[in-house]
Amino acid sequence: LAIDYIEITNPKFIPVKVGVAIGASTGTDEVHKIFKANLDKVLYFQIIPGT
């Protein structure tokens, strides 16, 4: 899971990649769903599946 964030105060619009590792614990899926839902609401974030 990576987050592509565009710094709007920078005129060059350079994306900053931020990685978030999600483990396989029992509550992880629910946390991931909430995390993704909140980020999807923010215009300058994009969810990119990890490889």
Question: pLDDT tens, 26-48?
Answer: 666 777 777 777 766 665 666 66
Return the pLDDT at 32: 74
The two three-digit tokens of residue 31, written as one number: 């946390």
Higher-pLDDT residue of 33, 5: 33
pLDDT of 13 above 70: no
- Domain coordinates in residue numbering, the chain: 2-48
Residues in the chain: 51
Query: Beta strand 47-48 with 15-19: parallel, antiparallel or unpaired?
Result: unpaired
Q: Which amino acid is at 26?
A: T
C-alpha span between 10 and 13 (Å, rounded): 6
Per DSSP, the three-state class of 8 is coil
Higher-pLDDT residue of 28, 10: 28
Per DSSP, the three-state class of 27 is coil
